[in-house]
Structure 1
């Protein structure tokens, strides 16, 4: 197995090997849940900021593939499903910080609710600020109230979805193809927000596994 799958070494020995040993859906699901639970429990117990730093930056150095193999096929309303969505959201933001910042800022401007406050909307919401916000949300998974981190991520998605819809309306006449892409993106952000919010509710009742 490539060395990049082993850094940082945070999972109990044998879990990666067990996952890669076959395609049995039950085994894959079991390992996904076990790794997610072990990772979260160990990092929270140690409380080491350096470990949290490595986990936040994990996909920057090693890509998303290892996490995808572990968690991407998990049900959305599970712990591994929630972790996968948080990491994927951060990756999306970092890959297009400028575009995401534009959509997020538009969402803030038209928002009439508390989602910008819940998300922790920076002022201004430029690329650097939105990227930092994504890091802070991910850090909250390992350091703070896990449900709050999920709710912040959900709020971010809702604000960005609103921005997508608003910009799509602006582009509809002059660039209908781009407007359609933004509408599809808005639906994806909305669905992700619903999934993360559901996970937060489950976590608060000790039902997220």
Structure 2
């Protein structure tokens, strides 16, 4: 912490923060989760100050993931705070794993398809491209069409999930090609592949959450 930390956008009332620390009633936390998400989104949409957008974009870095998690992580997946939580976590994950994600995208999308156009990704993205995309998706949710931002996030996570499946298959194939000369290596490769497939399945589930959120937003039912 420290005096140099930027001011927080849409700060919570101190009484609310104290209540969270002391263990508020779950229903009260749920209500505050929805209210804070709506207030944050509304503030940015009605602001012409680019610094406000930047502060919201870097909310995890400036406020801390634990504080955001305490308020939003338990929200329903088909709610505004639940979707925003996943968008923030997606950005954090993309920026922290930019190299491997760029490689997985190239595996999952070797030839540009509609997913590339929707997500806004080049056929062979670099690490820097992944970082820019991470920021673009999240900022688009606040200053652009919220549903479109969710659809971009869904298209992106779908392709990365496919890349994970391709990588899992390749690892098993390489280990199997060695025959019975290295059974321990093959067993390890299969275990690693299982982990990749598990991560891919989680990403696909997240993609469906983003798609459903976009559908609800267009119907005015994402709250």
Q: Shift of residue 146 of structure 1?
A: 0.6
- Is the contact between residue 19 and residue 27 of structure 1 (CA under 8 Å) also seen in structure 2? no
Q: CA–CA distance in 2 between the matches of 1:178 and 1:207?
A: 40
TM-score (normalizing by structure 2): 0.86
Residue matched to 2:50: 49
Secondary structure at 2:121's aligned position in 1? coil
Superposed CA RMSD in Å reads: 2.1
Q: Provide structure 1 residue ranges, at least 5 long, that are not aligned to the other structure.
A: none
Q: Shift of residue 21 of structure 1?
A: 4.0
Q: CA–CA distance in 2 between the matches of 1:57 and 1:6?
A: 10
- Is the contact between residue 147 and residue 214 of structure 2 (CA under 8 Å) also seen in structure 1? yes
* Off by >6 Å, runs of 4+ in structure 1: 2-6
Residue matched to 2:209: 195
Q: Per-residue displacement from partner, 1:23-42 (whole Å, max 9, x unpaired)?
A: 42211110100100010011
Q: CA–CA distance in 1 between the matches of 2:65 and 2:30?
A: 18
Q: Provide structure 2 residue ranges, at least 5 long, that are not aligned to the other structure.
A: 176-188
Secondary structure at 1:172's aligned position in 2? helix
- Is the contact between residue 150 and residue 199 of structure 1 (CA under 8 Å) also seen in structure 2? yes
Residue matched to 2:18: 17
- Is the contact between residue 11 and residue 38 of structure 1 (CA under 8 Å) also seen in structure 2? no
Q: Shift of residue 123 of structure 1?
A: 4.8
TM-score (normalizing by structure 1): 0.91
Residue matched to 1:208: 222
- Is the contact between residue 140 and residue 149 of structure 1 (CA under 8 Å) also seen in structure 2? yes
Q: Shift of residue 10 of structure 1?
A: 1.7
Aligned residues: 207
Q: Shift of residue 7 of structure 1?
A: 4.0
Residue matched to 1:66: 67
Q: Which has the larger radius of gyration?
A: 2
Residue matched to 1:151: 151
